[in-house]
A and B are shown apart, each in its own frame.
Chain A
């Protein structure tokens, strides 16, 4: 058998034009890249180039293997189809280039057949994917997709490139018998009607025409790449590489001891880092963030996708303005300095806060991070919101009035409700719990948090947890009146100064008592103590009560009895689930007591926020529907006896939702600890 191959450049003359076109395309491409790079450089320095090994892994897992993309199977599979097609066609093109330009004799034999088969198979799938994309975008019109000319151009371009590719193949096979045509099966199918319609001379002309047309389109693709959404192919992978690793959701600390600091928080685009600006270009407008944002879904104006895209527009406006200024200064008489054109100057264009992003949008965010969790390329939305809130709170002092009360209360009495600090220990000591003062040898610090100490509803959870811990023989003590609010609400609302003062005091007290291990029932406290206190020197082993209880059960120290007959749906709290990856442990505990678990529509990583995060527990909700009522409706729809939570905020919000829906007889909201306590 003759070696499988086909003649590269068969029927084609004028190959040097190819290279000319390629050079032009590459120049346009490079210019496009350059234009974007100077925009990213408008931002502040930030080192993201660490953890290279993990970065490569992330690109493979999230890019190559589409880990997050596939979580939404319908568009995910489509994208996979196009992606795989791309990969194989790129591979094919690479091989041909090596053969044609680098004189590597490889385009034959099994490699050739492999290329033929995969190009046809995956190219066809890619073609179908593109048609599916177009159908979804233009016929189905899901809410989360907005349409721009770029979308149509790109789809049309890719479609035409693929179709012409197949037709060229078909024409060639129609014109010249190909013993391996079966491998190029699409071409083979096309050859039949082509041969019927056109004669040989026509076929040859058609082939030549289409080949050059296809080439021009391919070069257009290259040139257009960096001027269009196609850029996401590289930027998306880069964003996955550059993502923030480690515990998510931690804003950068502000050093208030630094007397040279003049601004706190960010109000100008240029105050953000280059990576923040890079985010806006990497964002491919897929809209998964929008589709999962509790604020957006409950009718608030806030839309995480819009924020990123609007920042992108502002970035472009800023870039244009900076370019203007540079041009103006260049034409100035020599000797006149172009005043620090690289420093953020007084921006005279649209204000980031207020004009580009309405202030109410900044306050509407619950920091649930579903947007960031769903984003396939790891765009970071929430830390920008917090940075802008910081500006509003620390500089402008312009924030919802209810927040002022919460701040004052935390300042004066160490809890957002403003209940006398000297009564903080009362409930727990009434249960017989000792303070560290009384029992310095305790192994664990039990941190009830403000809710566990003061909120009547959550005191029941504290009582249950205390009973469980005592039953398991755990040696623990509390800080009592020395405990102050962990500072989560303050920090997430942007009041970094208040957070700083609360956190440093708490850390000092805990260190003073030699605290090493902490158990807490509140995911906000848990996240704060574990992941954010280290920024200020607090270094403790922090365990959420569900994780701790599960350990106790597994090690036999806590014995639970199983009773059948009741069902429960478990609400994953954002700060336990998405922030800290704790999804299974609470569920295992529920199974251990014999409850039948049914899941709500939004569960696990897609859990729907109760609405209290981001300091919103202390704010009024004036726009749209109530987030907590929407979540309660989901719980009601599952028709279980209970809805289980592991967070005092969630417990309150869902409890309120149940009361609002008047289904208190049919559905009860309970904390995991309360459920377990009934089964000891």
Chain B
């Protein structure tokens, strides 16, 4: 008899990732609606201290699987351990965040379990017939698909920031269980040689989810510090228009446009950029475009979802403050 909604909690360096807390909050809601148990599974090494955080975030039961071989994520070890656990416990659903780990782990695990997988979901609800229904974007968000499965366990990865992480309730108690990691040696064939976390939190321009970009309106290289500050608050990459690169304010590797990089982030914030077609050709597929420009006639406003007509030197610092507030919520 299948039971429980299992959330695979992701941790790095003994810090739980935000998406896992978001999932626990949403999982909690659904568990309450459907009367299921919410179980959090944490893999790693030296992770006992995390059980309480996980419990405070809504889990009824926390399964800790602590092993040296699980200290860093590897596809083989994690798949092996989770496969054995899930076959033993037979949960209704197994959910995790669509992070680099989730994208790698979930398909492998799903295949080993012989089940389907809904990836990168932006919506999850309880559903009468099939327990859970998922909404996910297709065609880069130009359409949505709604999925259910009658095979158990239901598996899905959820896009970070889809749900809100509720404030933790330190008084919550959960059943804490430790399991032994059962790892097939064949799953250890790939050797993790090195992990390099970049000192700068700033992502690479090409695949960044959020980009803050500056154009001719920036008036000089020294003013990019303002954009970088904004970018760092929201974990964005920094880009530039050709005008800025030509003027020597930023190197060519930051150039977005026809003769620079083509990007398609979820959010593109264009500061002091007029929006000439050569630039649009490089970022026109962005999901959301924000424009800040003092010229109300600038073409960028025609393609922006949200525009602010104003002096970017005034607007950008204010925006940075607002974003700081958001992030700290």
Q: Which residues 413-440 in A have Cβ within 8 Å of B in the complex? A: 416-419
* Cβ contacts under 8 Å, B281 to chain A: 409, 417-419
Query: Contact: B277 with A405, CB < 8 Å?
Result: no
Interface stretch (choices A334-342, A450-458, A672-680): A450-458
When chains A and B are docked, how far (Å) is the Cα of A409 from the Cα of B280?
14
* Cβ contacts under 8 Å, A626 to chain B: 246
When chains A and B are docked, how far (Å) is the Cα of A417 from the Cα of B258?
7
Considering the complex, give the chain A residue whose CB is closest to the CB of B216: A659
* Cβ contacts under 8 Å, A659 to chain B: 216, 243
Q: Flag whether A620 is at the interface (Cβ < 8 A).
A: yes
When chains A and B are docked, how far (Å) is the Cα of A590 from the Cα of B169?
76
Query: Contact: A456 with B258, CB < 8 Å?
Result: no
Q: Flag whether A402 is at the interface (Cβ < 8 A).
A: yes
Question: Interface SS of chain B: helix, strand, loop or mixed?
Answer: helix
B121 to chain A, nearest CB (A): 27
Q: Given that A419-B284, A659-B243 are known contacts, is A456 also in contact with B259, CB under 8 Å in the complex?
A: no
Residue interface bits A60-72, CB-to-B below 8 A is 1, else 0: 0000000000000
Q: Flag whether B265 is at the interface (Cβ < 8 A).
A: no
Query: Contact: A457 with B276, CB < 8 Å?
Result: yes
When chains A and B are docked, how far (Å) is the Cα of A564 from the Cα of B283?
43
Q: Given that A456-B302, A620-B259 are known contacts, is A417 also in contact with B277, CB under 8 Å in the complex?
A: yes
Q: Given that A456-B275, A456-B302 are known contacts, is A660 also in contact with B246, CB under 8 Å in the complex?
A: yes
The number of residues on chain B lying at the interface, defined by a beta carbon within 8 Å of a beta carbon of chain A, is 16
The interface centre, meaning the residue of B276, B277, B302 with most chain A CB atoms within 10 A of its CB, is: B277
A140 to chain B, nearest CB (A): 36
Q: Flag whether B37 is at the interface (Cβ < 8 A).
A: no
Contacting residue for A456 out of B243, B246, B277, CB 8 A: B277
When chains A and B are docked, how far (Å) is the Cα of A402 from the Cα of B281?
12
Q: Flag whether A221 is at the interface (Cβ < 8 A).
A: no
Q: Flag whether A579 is at the interface (Cβ < 8 A).
A: no
* Cβ contacts under 8 Å, B276 to chain A: 456-457, 652
Residue interface bits B212-233, CB-to-A below 8 A is 1, else 0: 0000100000000000000000
B145 to chain A, nearest CB (A): 21
Q: Flag whether B299 is at the interface (Cβ < 8 A).
A: yes
B217 to chain A, nearest CB (A): 11
When chains A and B are docked, how far (Å) is the Cα of A351 from the Cα of B284?
42
The number of residues on chain A lying at the interface, defined by a beta carbon within 8 Å of a beta carbon of chain B, is 19
Q: Given that A455-B277, A659-B216, A660-B243 are known contacts, is A619 also in contact with B284, CB under 8 Å in the complex?
A: no
B297 to chain A, nearest CB (A): 10
Q: Flag whether B262 is at the interface (Cβ < 8 A).
A: yes
When chains A and B are docked, how far (Å) is the Cα of A454 from the Cα of B299?
12
When chains A and B are docked, how far (Å) is the Cα of A181 from the Cα of B100?
103
Q: Which residues 216-273 in B have Cβ within 8 Å of A in the complex? A: 216, 243, 246, 252, 258-259, 262
Q: Flag whether A618 is at the interface (Cβ < 8 A).
A: yes
* Cβ contacts under 8 Å, B302 to chain A: 456
Query: Contact: A405 with B262, CB < 8 Å?
Result: yes
When chains A and B are docked, how far (Å) is the Cα of A486 from the Cα of B216?
32
When chains A and B are docked, how far (Å) is the Cα of A591 from the Cα of B216?
36
A636 to chain B, nearest CB (A): 18
B294 to chain A, nearest CB (A): 13
* Cβ contacts under 8 Å, B278 to chain A: 417
Considering the complex, give the chain A residue whose CB is closest to the CB of B245: A620
When chains A and B are docked, how far (Å) is the Cα of A455 from the Cα of B281?
10
When chains A and B are docked, how far (Å) is the Cα of A659 from the Cα of B281?
20
* Cβ contacts under 8 Å, A456 to chain B: 275-277, 299, 302
A660 to chain B, nearest CB (A): 7
Considering the complex, give the chain B residue whose CB is closest to the CB of A406: B258
When chains A and B are docked, how far (Å) is the Cα of A11 from the Cα of B262?
87
Residue interface bits A642-661, CB-to-B below 8 A is 1, else 0: 00000000001000000110
* Cβ contacts under 8 Å, B284 to chain A: 419
A431 to chain B, nearest CB (A): 16
When chains A and B are docked, how far (Å) is the Cα of A455 from the Cα of B279?
11
* Cβ contacts under 8 Å, B262 to chain A: 405
Q: Which residues 38-95 in B have Cβ within 8 Å of A in the complex? A: none
Contacting residue for B259 out of A402, A418, A455, A652, CB 8 A: A402
Closest 4 CB pairs of A and B: A417-B281, A456-B299, A402-B259, A455-B277
Other A-B pairs, 15, CB within 8 Å; known A455-B277, A659-B243: A402-B258, A402-B259, A405-B258, A405-B262, A406-B258, A409-B281, A417-B281, A419-B281, A419-B284, A457-B276, A618-B258, A618-B259, A619-B259, A652-B276, A659-B216
9 A-B pairs with CB atoms under 8 Å apart are A406-B258, A409-B281, A417-B281, A419-B281, A419-B284, A456-B302, A620-B259, A660-B243, A660-B246
